[in-house]
């Protein structure tokens, strides 16, 4: 039986408005307890909800121990 590994990363997703006309949103994943940006979106989103959802997917991957490369491809770790 394998032991559960637990959370590997503690952070949060922050969504910022990048432009007002047209409205464009970007997400960033930051470490808990600081404002250090670990990952951020390359392309803007038309809706804040879409940006938040994409950022949550990256955060969940980091929490489970997956490695996220600069091109946003998820790679499994053993």
**Residue 59 covered by a domain:** yes
The pTM assigned to this predicted structure is 0.73
**Residue 50 covered by a domain:** yes
Q: Between 67 and 50, name the one with better pLDDT.
A: 50
**Residue 76 covered by a domain:** no
**Residue 74 covered by a domain:** no
**Residue 26 covered by a domain:** yes
**Residue 56 covered by a domain:** yes
Domain with 49 in it: 11-65
Number of domains, the chain: 1
User: Long-range contacts of range 10-13, CB-CB < 8 Å, 24 or more positions apart?
Assistant: 10/63, 11/38, 11/59, 11/62, 11/63, 12/59, 13/52, 13/55, 13/56, 13/58, 13/59
What are 4-58's pLDDT values in tens digits?
556 778 899 999 999 988 999 999 999 888 888 988 998 899 999 999 999 998 8
């Amino acid at each position: 039986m394998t032991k559960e590994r637990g959370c590997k990363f503690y952070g949060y997703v922050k969504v910022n408005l990048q432009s007002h006309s047209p409205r464009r949103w970007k997400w960033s994943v930051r470490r808990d307890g600081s404002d250090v940006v670990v990952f951020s979106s390359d392309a803007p989103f038309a809706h804040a909800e879409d940006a938040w959802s994409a950022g949550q997917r990256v955060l969940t991957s980091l929490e489970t121990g997956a490695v996220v490369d600069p091109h946003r491809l998820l790679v499994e770790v053993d």
